[in-house]
Chain A
Amino acid sequence: DIQMTQSPSSLSASVGDRVTITCRASQDITNYLAWFQQKPGKAPKSLIYAASSLQSGVPSKFSGSGSGTDFTLTISSLQPEDFATYYCQQYYSYPPYTFGQGTKLEIK
């Protein structure tokens, strides 16, 4: 199974900040990586697919990059609605599809 490791597990930031979350795969997944946002009590929402493609309707403040084993999600100019938990998921090799453990983004 491919293991996905996110860092950091939690992150404190202020409104207006730019933050970066990292996701590392245990083996090469080319660009078969998605990012999700989950707010408390809500279903996950797809943000990014194919490592760097923005899901329709997602604001351009979200961006993804990387290939192979190392990936990043960057959120620019944080707003209160961006504070949530973010997950990466690989869909290169399955079963199983695997998620990272999540990164909780909190207001400083």
Chain B
Amino acid sequence: EVQLVESGGVVVQPGGSLRLSCAASGFTFDDYSMHWVRQAPGKGLEWVSLISWDGGTTYYTDSVKGRFTISRDNSKNSLYLQMNSLRTDDTALYYCAKDQSHRGNSYGDCWGQGTLVTVSS
């Protein structure tokens, strides 16, 4: 059974930094791209970032480009999101999601339960 467990969400001041983690199990982690998707309180889903199965390709939504960095450690079955220069509009529940496509990029077919990031002074 696929399991994704996010951690690292806390309350942080504007301008601060944070690293989110996602521990994966139940599938061959290094065969799948991984996504981060966020959801602001009471709002819809917003895709944030994707990293390819081998870590060689990364994509970001414009609002986080230059501030967030996605990475993975396939030896630890772990996904990360380094978040710098945080803004109040980054406040959201952050989900990691496994891509459906084997060594490709498509949509997230399995999602974790999310970790809450609150950016507030």
**Per-residue B-contact encoding for A71-108, CB less than 8 Å = 1, 0 else:** 00000000000000001010100111111111000000
Q: Which A residues form the contact surface with B (CB < 8 A)?
A: 32, 34, 36, 38, 42-46, 49, 55, 87, 89, 91, 94-102
Contact B111 A49 (CB under 8 A): no
**B 34-65 contacts with A by CB, 8 A:** 35, 37, 44-47, 50, 59-62
- 24 CB-based A-B contacts, threshold 8 Å: A36-B45, A43-B95, A43-B111, A43-B113, A43-B114, A45-B111, A46-B100, A46-B108, A46-B110, A46-B111, A49-B100, A49-B107, A89-B45, A89-B107, A91-B105, A94-B47, A95-B60, A96-B47, A96-B61, A96-B62, A97-B47, A99-B47, A100-B44, A101-B44
Question: Which B residues fall within an 8 A CB radius of A?
Answer: 35, 37, 44-47, 50, 59-62, 95, 100, 105-114
